[in-house]
Amino acid sequence: MARIPYEILAIHRTASDAFMKSICVCLANLQCDILDLHCLRNQALKKKKKKKKKKKKKKKKKKKKKKKKKKKKKKKKKKKKKKKKKKKKKKKKKKKKKKIKNLNESFIAVYEN
């Protein structure tokens, strides 16, 4: 068996499927260029990707619409207005100044005392 290049061995270790590993071994035996090996590997990976795309589509689950609960309106209680008792203001009685009718008489009376 021919001497296997290090790069081919590395790819062989990382290759996931048996098909790729078999290609690596064949190429090592034929002592092909490493570039050819990479091209083949890339082609194989492209085929693999195409296969992945053909997955069954999952059926979308229909979302159930949630019924909105009607909110009960709370009746507002009418507050009875309390009638404020008006405080009666006491009217201040104005003291009437006694008008002295006869100034002369009062003056004389004070003067005499």
Rounded CA-CA distance 63/83 in Å is 59
Instruction: Please tell me the pTM assigned to this model.
Output: 0.17
**Model confidence pLDDT, tens digit, residues 11-27:** 656 666 666 667 766 66
Closest CA to 4 of 23, 21, 24: 24
Judged against a pLDDT cut of 50, whether residue 102 lies above it is answered with yes
Are the C-beta atoms of 19 and 6 separated by less than 8 Å?
no
What was the pLDDT predicted at 13? 60
Query: What region, left, alpha or beta, does residue 98 occupy, with left being phi > 0 and alpha being psi -120 to 50 degrees?
Result: beta
| Residue scoring higher pLDDT (100 or 83) | 83
3-class DSSP state for residue 96? coil
